[in-house]
Amino acid sequence: MTTVGVWRALSPTEKIQAGRESYIGFSVRAAGRLDLGALTTAYEAVCRAYPQFAARLEAGDDGPVFTASDALPDVRVHDGDPERPLSGVDVAQHRALSALNVVRDGDDVSVCLVTHHGIADADHAIAVFAALWSCYTDVVAGLPVDLPSHPFPRSLEDLLAERGIHGSAPTEAGVAVQPVSEQPAVVRHVVQHRLTVAETTALAELGHREHVTINGLLSGAILLAEAEIRGLPVTDLVYRFTVNLRGHLTPRVGPTEGTNVLGGAGFQATNGMEPTAVSIGRAVGEQLRAGLADGSIQRSLLDLVAQSRPGAKPWDPSKAPAIVSMMNWGPIPPMRTPEGLLLTNFRSASRIRETSAMGGYVVSTFDGRTGIDLTWPVDDPELPRRLDCLREQLGRLRLTDKLNG
């Protein structure tokens, strides 16, 4: 296909996101005066510098292709509850693969960068979001905005192949095009449990003493909370989580060089394991390191797409009655803002066409405070109890910290 403005066809891992029309929201709460004109100028500058954010999907000869949009995407503004950052959002992948959605209640505002998962994972989108706020700050100050142009990001398949990493089984020729789901889009504004700065620091100090990462401690607390709310032993849960591969590849991959530079990992507690967040978290970390060392995590999405033997997959849902999922986006980089505008919080959101509204967790740390997003639909009847169970487990971690101290 030689249409002007076409960048490339979607890879198999990207087609999965197109089939679900997956949009992920990266949202900040802002207090103070927001200059909508400056925000629009900044968003246009970012879309010119990062062409994937000004792209759309078009039908190609062998499946969907990334192509240039006819116009830069708009900034949409709605009056409403900033706790619901996707309110009023209207996105479709044949029109645009990104949007900037503003929901305001007086000077209390949420600004959400809505990103199609086919063009960017969290590390990628957050880097662009930080560039957006830097541009906004310069525009407000009357400074010129001149972002360098970036090439269209590469697929996970290409990045791994040039580093000699291939799936455990050969990919079948002619991977089927993923049709767009006919299911309605499920919107999750999410409920967040946010630790204080002191609690976040105490969690890090506990992990340091116990030789467990914060990711491991939170994994253990989440699994114990899910076991309680589901009325199951923790050994009956399969835990799956994503891994940002950028720092685990040689040479390292930059934040915006690839679309989804991710791997998947799985974990299941054993009967002999002490049912505490510290013990479970330590075991999660050990399994993560082992999977990176043997390359199974790096290959996991390739194996999943190639539909290789079940033993080669990072997890096998058929082996357990319940699945718990978590994504840890890590520390959110500082975002510049002009005087008179303060960014007070960060959280996720999503809009995905899917057959079942499965929930999960998203973790991030912003301004020294760790936030845990419960990504269930807001009308889920078990959401309040799930939040209480999580708080109880985190409280037990703090009690453990005091006893050890």
- Tens-place pLDDT, residues 78-98: 999 999 999 999 999 999 999
Q: Are 98 and 113 in contact (CB under 8 A)?
A: yes
Show me where the domains of the chain are located: 6-161, 185-332+356-404
| Residue 321 confidence (pLDDT) | 61
C-alpha dist (Å) from residue 298 to 32, 41, 43, 291, 316: 43, 38, 33, 8, 17
Reduced 3-state DSSP string for 98-136: EEEEEEEECCEEEEEEEEECCCCCHHHHHHHHHHHHHHH
- Confidence band, pLDDT 50/70/90 cuts, at residue 318: low
pLDDT band at 174 (very low <50, low <70, confident <90, very high): very low
Beta strands in 269-319 (DSSP E): none
Instruction: Please report the pLDDT score of residue 56 as a whole number.
Output: 96
Q: How does the average pLDDT of the chain come out, rounded?
A: 90
| Among 98, 68, 71, 103, residue whose Cα is nearest residue 85 | 103
316 CB neighbour count, 10 Å cutoff: 13
Do the beta carbons of residue 240 and residue 262 sit within 8 Å? no
Token reading at 82: 């900033």
Q: Are the folds of 6-161 and 185-332+356-404 the same?
A: yes
Confidence grade of residue 402 (pLDDT, cut at 50, 70, 90): low
Q: Which of 65-79, 165-179, 272-286 has the highest mean pLDDT?
A: 272-286
State percent of the chain over pLDDT 90: 78
Q: What is the Cα–Cα distance from 278 to 219, expressed in whole angstroms?
A: 9
Q: Annotate 169-188 with b (16+ C-beta within 10 A) or e (fewer).
A: eebeeebebbebbeeebbbb
What number of other Cβ atoms are within 10 A of residue 192's Cβ?
18
Calculate the alpha carbon distances from 381 to 228, 252, 334, 389, 400 in Å: 16, 43, 36, 14, 31
Fold of 185-332+356-404: Chloramphenicol Acetyltransferase (3.30.559)
Cα 108 to Cα 2, 6, 28, 31, 85: the distances in Å are: 47, 40, 11, 5, 12
Kindly report, residue by residue over 236-258, the tens digit of the pLDDT.
999 999 999 999 999 999 999 99
To the question of domain 6-161 being in CATH 3.30.559.10, the answer is: yes
Q: At what angle do helices 197-210 and 277-293 cross, to 10 degrees?
A: 70
Query: Can you tell me the mean pLDDT for 51-62?
Result: 93
- Start-to-end Cα distance in the chain: 65
pLDDT of residue 377: 79
Bond preceding residue 151 cis, omega within 30 of 0 = no
DSSP labels, 17-70: HHHHT-EEEEEEEEEE---HHHHHHHHHHHHHHSGGGGEEEEEETTEEEEEE-S
pLDDT in tens, 104-154: 998 899 999 999 999 999 999 999 999 999 999 999 999 999 899 999 999
| Amino acid present at 73 | P
Q: How far apart are CA 314 and CA 317, in angstroms?
A: 10
% of the chain surpassing 70 pLDDT: 89
Query: Strand pairing of 108-116 and 98-105?
Result: antiparallel
DSSP E strand boundaries for 168-258? 185-188, 191-194, 237-244
Three-state SS for 364?
strand
Whether pLDDT at 2 is above 50: no
Better-predicted residue by pLDDT, 173 or 43 = 43
